[in-house]
Amino acid sequence: MSICLIGKNLTALVLSKILINKGISVDLCYSNNKIPEKKLNTSSRTIGLSNDSIEFLESQKIIHRKNCWSIKKINLYKGKSSKSFLNFKSNKSNFFMTSYNDLYKSLEASLKRNKLIRINKKNSAKSFLELLKKNYEIIIITDANNSLFKKYFSKSITKDYNSIAFTTIISHKSIKNNVAEQYFTNCGPLAFLPISNTETSVVFSVFDKDLMKNKLEVIKLIKHYNNFYKINKIGNLQEFPINLSLSRKYFHKNILSFGDTLHKVHPLAGQGFNMTLRDAKILSELIKNNLDLGLNLDAVLEKFEVKRKNSNFVFAMGVDFLHEFFKFINKYNTKSVDNLFKLMNKNMFIKKKIENFADKGFIF
């Protein structure tokens, strides 16, 4: 019994580990074509993980929460205001940060030692199509840069935010660094996400066209909105286009689309990879059930689509609504909205519902 995974990314490695844990052989395939260095650079990329995601990754022996940086509080601000209009605080951590590179490298090293995985480098569109002739129970695509994705899954619901996400790491003097800050600026949301007592990840989602072309001005704004850190150094800015993408089709025969090929959302809420992990959790459960019953694994694909398609759509639309809503209120400062946030900030029931939504997503 074997499954083929297509993609050289963290999603493919996480799925490989989940499948190997179940005793399933994995062929990990990816294109060996050279990719521009600019696109490969993930040095400033960090991942926000909800408590539910951490628990799942721990159950699969992929990560341990002690190796992640815990966030105790999240503050939201309008513009340069020093007072948050909404905050979320907990005695136990409900949100964690980790380095994309560190997780990728540790997982890659672990998999290389496992006899159940083989890594194959495919160099052409034809070689990917030839995978269909092999006796794989399932082929899972996690990367759009291959012929199978273009042939079966290219149709999707899309929205171009005409925005760029700038990411970097700031080094600063040591502080007790467990509070995440998000500022809704006139140029786009700016997040400060602690990753240690001396380093903080910055994600600035910019929709201002002039600012997109001026990295020096982006750095100036990061310094301008920084209220807590005595900065020693700001790392190189990396940039990524921002768009919404929801696949219309989850599977074709025994081929499954997964991860970024299935859905992309605005980084505003830091939920992109958490959505993928929720999908992985459901897929893992479905595969286990079929293995226990002695059924073919390709039968899980339709069940997976039924369980996740509507939930992912509602969650992605929720993130999109938040983006448009905060963009609107930042442009049109209204007292009625300020009063609404004051009520929300005092209402523990509403805040708990928001926290559960961010932790576990939307569940039908």
Q: Express each pLDDT in 168-206 by its tens digit.
A: 999 999 999 999 999 999 999 999 999 999 999 999 999
Give the domain range for residue 311: 2-159+242-360
Question: Does residue 187 fall inside a structural domain?
Answer: no
Residue 169 lies in a domain: no
Length of the chain: 364
Task: Give the pLDDT score at 347.
Answer: 83
In a domain, 90, yes or no: yes
Q: For the segment 78-118, what is each residue's pLDDT rounded down to a tens digit?
A: 888 888 888 888 767 779 999 999 999 999 999 989 999 99
Any idea what the CATH number is for the domain that residue 71 is in? Answer: 3.50.50.60
Least confident range from 26-40, 150-164, 224-238: namely 26-40
**Does residue 236 fall inside a structural domain?**
no
How many distinct structural domains can be found in the chain?
1
**Contact status, residue 142 vs residue 260, Cβ threshold 8 Å:** yes
Residue 175 in domain: no
Q: What are the φ and ψ backbone dihedral angles of 104, each rounded to 5 degrees?
A: -60, -50
Residue 215 belongs to some domain of the structure: no
Give the number of other Cβ atoms within 10 Å of residue 350's Cβ: 12
pTM here is: 0.92
Range in 108-122, 196-210, 345-359 the model is least confident about? 345-359
- pLDDT tens profile 258-303: 999 999 999 988 899 999 999 999 999 999 999 999 988 888 999 9
DSSP 117-148: EEEEEE-SHHHHHGGGGS--SEEEE--SSSHH
